[in-house]
Amino acid sequence: MAELLNNYIAGERVAGRGDGTTLTDPVTGEALVRVSSEGVDLHAAFDYARTHGGAALRALTYAARAAQLSEIAKLLQAHRDDYYAISLANSGTTKNDSAVDIDGGIFTLSYYAKLGATLGDVHALRDGSAVSLSKDQTFKSQHVLTPKRGVALFINAFNFPSWGLWEKAAPALLSGVPVIVKPATSTAWLTQRMVADVVDAGILPAGAISVICGSSAGLLDQIDAYDVVSFTGSAETAAKLRAHRAFVTRGARLNVEADSLNSAILAADAAPGTAAFDLFIKEVVGEMTVKSGQKCTAIRRAFVPKEYLGAAADALVAKLSAVTVGNPRNESVRMGSLVSREQYDAVRAGIASLREEARLAFDGSQVQLVDADPAIAACVAPHLFVIDDASSAVRVHEVEVFGPVATLCGYKVATADSRLEESQAVELARRGQGSLVASVYSNDDVRLARIALELADTHGRVHAISPSVAQSQTGHGNVMPMSLHGGPGRAGGGEELGGLRALNFYHRRAAVQGPAASIDALTEPTGKVEI
């Protein structure tokens, strides 16, 4: 029987009872390790995190906590080879795809370590400047930010077991809030190993970071008024979470990142043969194939002027035809597997749904897998759909297929006297009912700005690309810690990252009114921050 991984709670290793759930290699079907949270004392875990981990973190300054993040990043960097091996075995990812998750997580940690060092040796932060409440300037008001006196619970998704942990944990720990992470069961091994390495190294105070692998049953029952919960997953599950008494009655904070039908828009000026057209094609193919399309930010709908539809489809098909799919242990393979046969079945069902209203321009079911048994492996080759007129489509704007699947949609370019030729493309993008990201491709930087502002009200991030940034742009789907990650409506309404803005979720804002001398003594000048 496969090894049973430990949970890390209350400053101790704790093994769950029973056989647990076996994690498998999604390419070969081989049993890897087991996880179980059965019998774990959740009350003790949360209480210890609050009373020991939280108190110890808050006793440190922001600069001191930032230094701990830096040490964690160095530790993880030293164990990268181990993490890559786990990612290959448990997630079925190529080396390049593993880097997005593992190196992306380490980079985010390092970024917040450097950012936190600028906050100084203080225990609270000023929010803005003091304001006088009296004519003689002796009585003032100052808004301050202090760390939440609770725990941060992360209920994470299966696609980013490393980055999904550290993009949340870095700002939480920097803020002085202890972390309990519940990774998605199917890919929990990498998260568990990273937390185990950090705990064993003794970088953080005991109870500052915990991991519970297995069932999530009972976790929300432990949430108190001063706790925060960050959830990444389906909109259906998010709706159930929002109805829990922890949020309805106790008023705990909840941040949600849910489904997202992200878009890419080819501007009217980006005709076939132009540099912007080529950038669009390259990005759509990349977003379909990186991580096998298992990214919350991946392009699901690509909008092009109707007159460019045929050329765009031909260009995409030509590039997709060159993508090798199968066992990532074979160096010729460019795209690995989905994380499980369960996800395989879900993607196949989504493809069947889209076929009801769109035609297949590239049918991945005809692709021969490399070193992988199609009856066992969770491999799905890219599928490209085409819809001539997306204004009459329904499913393409409602069904998110979480895999290497995208739909190329035609839009009608507005008349020359219209303020925005791409107005229909913007309207179609909005039919996603709120998305994490949309990208726009044009040869005209000013045109990009106009389109970006039109998209901003329904998207968390707008990625605007012209040939002038072809070599420096960071990619449609890459979430950078400097920029906001989250989106309105269907995307969950949450906000993560965005530099210092990420700290807001883990702080309480309060107004202190008092004598000018008291206000001046609240924090040192280095503790002033706007978030």
Which residues carry out catalysis? 257, 296
Cβ contacts of residue 486 below 8 Å, gap of 6+? 255, 257, 436, 460, 492, 493, 494, 495, 496
Structure tokens at 514: 């008092």
What would you measure as the largest C-alpha separation in the chain, in angstroms? 80
Contacts 24+ apart (CB under 8 A), 134-140: 137/516, 138/515, 138/516, 139/513, 139/514, 139/515, 139/516, 140/513, 140/514, 140/515, 140/516, 140/519
Q: How would DSSP label each residue in 350-413?
A: HHHHHTTTSEEEE-GGGSPPBS--TTT------EEEEES-GGG-SGGGT----SSEEEEEEEPP
Residues β-bridged to residue 312: none
Q: Which amino acid is at 386?
A: V
Q: Cβ-count burial of 528 within 10 angstroms (0-12 exposed, 13-18 middle, 19+ buried)?
A: middle
276, HSE (Cβ side, Cα atoms, 13 Å)? 23
